Each structure stands twice: as structure tokens, then as C-alpha cells.
Structure 1
């Protein structure tokens, strides 16, 4: 039975590799069709820290071997319940306006294992739209899209998520009460941060708490409890 299970797993891995291999040459064709404002990125979520297996175009500065963005983390966190996210607007850290679509990849069992992402730089279009609106006296009623961190280093992506949370709360970690600390860990977990290797250690270091305390907060956040942590190292001590 164990051998059969191993064989099935190996068959699934070969199938996933074949899907990625078949999609790889499609990337150049898409970019050739839409021009230099287009970027297409192929992700293998079996290795989230180095999920980029192919890339064509240069909109977000991705490179083969680079990490997924927080959008990819969100898909990873949803697992097989993940759905395509199509035609959404975001901004890069440098301010470029990007129209994007993230399409999940599934094997024959329905298991999500990757994604095909299309990013189109529409900065110039947005500027023209704003100019025409101003000339017409329509004002600027557009909703500002969120900033997405696209980095080839997974640590920079996790750091950006933590920074964004702190900016929204306008409070340092030490000023948060226990419910808000648990809320932070629950939010990070829902966004797929802890699916990344060493993310717990990285979050603990950023927050100035011990690794044991971080695991305690994560466990309690997943359990939906607000019981006090038994580890006394969460008062700012480092592991």
C-alpha cells in the first residue's frame, strides 16, 4: 500500500511538472502579443520561497527562482479552495499601476499547485485617464489600488506585509493588547505568510519576541482562543 501511495504521488508530481513545462513557452507568446507593458509569470507553489519557474517581460522585476508575492501567499493559504483572481488593479512599490490576473493551476485531482500570473503596466493609461478627467472637470473619484510587494526574496515580501499591518494600526507591537496580537497572527496566517519556511522565526524577530512565543500566538490564533500565553518570553525578549 505504501508503495502504491508513493507511486501515485510521483505520478502527480510528474503531471504537475508536465503542466508547467507545457505552459512555459506560452509566456513568450503572450508578451510578444501584448508588448513591453506585459509580464507573465509562472509559479510553482510547491516551493513558495522560489516559486517563479518562468517569466517573460519586465513589469514587476521578477526573475526565475524569485519568491511569490503576498497575492500568491493568499492563494496558497486558500489551498484547493483558491479561485482565479482576474482583472484587479494594484501598484508596485515604485508606484506603477498594474492590471493583473492570477489564474490557479490544478492537477487532475483538483489540487492547486501553482499559478499563471499576467501583469500589465497601465501607468500611462491611468495618467491619461486622470488628465482627461481633470480637463472634463470630473474630479478624481478613483479608488487607490493597494500596493503589492513583488520581490525575488521572500523575506522582503513578509516584511512588507508586516509593515503594512503596522501602518494600518499606527501602533508598534509593544502597544498591542493580546486580542490585537492574536488578530495580527490570524491575519498573517490567513494571508499565507506561515506557509513559508522560516516565516515564524522572521515574524518573531521583527516583533522582538521569542520564537516560542510566536508559535504560541499562532497556535492560539488558529484555535480562536485569547487565553494568555504560558511562555514568558513574549515581553520583548529575543530567542
Structure 2
């Protein structure tokens, strides 16, 4: 199946340039190889997210990776980049003839200017402003993506690691696991460093989160 998967990725490589040439400078098209999440970008055209070949997947890709063969296309969702761009995207899952999910074709459109114009017209017409979009980390460095996911989850909880109860800590690790963070090599040590705990504690929390155990002895951070 590896040859078939490689052939599909190779066939899509020239397609990205054609789509961007058709849709223009506000478009970016990316081909991802999920077999190597740390450097999943195998082809890219356009500059919406600033990534390059050899770059990493975003949180969206990690979520698909976590769902494996059960993953489905994510169409017409809107996120915000770190530098404030509003991006409308569709991510189409790539499968081989056996149905194995191994990559994705992603189309990103920078709709910042369109959204600003819409907001202005809406204000003049007395309409409510559109709701905000979640911030997504795009980059060539997978470590920055992992760090952003950990930080975002801690912000959602509203308190630092030291103030979390045992179940809250396990829930954090469950959430990170469900979002595909631990499919990335070196993710556990990085998460441990981000939280200020030992690697042994991080591995213990991950094991307990996956097993659903309520009786395992909690290690001290």
C-alpha cells in the first residue's frame, strides 16, 4: 500500500499549483502526508499560512490523525491565524484502495478582506457583527503547534497545572490524546516541559487517561 499512497501524493503535487493559479493569491493548497506528522507538508502552493514543504500539520490535521480511518472531510470551516488572518478552509481526507487514511488535501482561502468588508456593510446596515473564529497555529515547526494546543487547553480550564485536581489533569491528557498530540514524536516530553512536570509524570497521566483507571497512583509533578 505504501507505493499506492506515494503515487497518490505524487499525482496531487502538480494539482496544488493549478488550483492556486485558478483561484489567485488569496488561495493556498497543501498536500499532507500523515505518515510523518512532524513534516507532513509534501506539496504547497500559495502563502496564506506561511508554511513550506517539510512543514508540520496544524491542530486540524492532528485531530484527523487521531481519528484514523474514521476521519471524515472537514469542509468550509473558518479559523484565525496567529497574525490575525481569517482563513476559510476545507480539508479532504486521502485514502488508499483499502480505505486507509494516510493524508489530506487542504484548501485555505484568506477571507480577511472579505470579512472586513462584510463587517463594514453590516455596521452600516445595523446588523450584528459576525462571531469570532478560533485561532489555529500554522507553522513549519510541530513543537509550536503542540505548545499552542497545550496552552489553549490550559486557558480553557482557567487555572494553571498546579491548581488542577487529579481528574482535571487526566482530562487534559485525554483531550490532548484525542486531538492527536501524542501521535507526534517527542510530544510527551514536550508536553511535560510545557506543564512543568517530569516526563515520568506525563507518561503516567497519559497511561491513566488512556486506560480510564481511577486507582493508579498519581505521581507528583
- TM-score (norm: length of structure 2): 0.98
Contact 1:69-1:148 within 8 A present in 2 as well = yes
Contact 2:82-2:136 within 8 A present in 1 as well = yes
Structure 1 portions without partners, runs of 5+: 1-11
Match of 2:95 in 1: 106
**Mean alpha-carbon deviation: is it higher for 222-231 or for 48-57?**
222-231
Match of 1:190 in 2: 178
Match of 1:129 in 2: 118
2:62 is aligned with 1:73? yes
2:7 is aligned with 1:14? no
Structure-2 separation of matches of 1:213 and 1:139: 47
Contact 1:44-1:52 within 8 A present in 2 as well = yes
Contact 2:208-2:216 within 8 A present in 1 as well = no
Structure 2 portions without partners, runs of 5+: none
2:161 is aligned with 1:166? no
Structure-1 separation of matches of 2:111 and 2:33: 26
Secondary structure of the 1:155 match is helix
Structure-1 separation of matches of 2:154 and 2:218: 25
Structure-1 separation of matches of 2:214 and 2:37: 30
Structure-1 separation of matches of 2:14 and 2:214: 50
Structure-2 separation of matches of 1:204 and 1:167: 17
**Mean alpha-carbon deviation: is it higher for 40-49 or for 216-225?**
216-225
Match of 1:7 in 2: none
Structure-1 separation of matches of 2:183 and 2:32: 15
2:47 is aligned with 1:58? yes
Structure-2 separation of matches of 1:139 and 1:109: 48
Match of 1:225 in 2: 213
Pair 202,134 (structure 1): closer, same or farther in 2 beyond 3 Å: same
* Post-superposition CA distance 1:127-159 (Å, at most 9, x none): 00000000001132x221111000100000000
Contact 1:178-1:226 within 8 A present in 2 as well = no
How far is 1:216 from its partner?
1.0
Structure-1 separation of matches of 2:97 and 2:108: 27
Contact 2:82-2:137 within 8 A present in 1 as well = yes
5 Å-filtered alignment, 1:33-48, equals 33-48=22-37
* Post-superposition CA distance 1:30-89 (Å, at most 9, x none): 000000000000000110000000100000001000010010000000000000000111
Structure-1 separation of matches of 2:191 and 2:16: 34
Secondary structure of the 2:134 match is coil
Aligned residues: 221
Structure-2 separation of matches of 1:81 and 1:159: 26
Runs of at least 4 residues of structure 1 off by over 4 A?
none
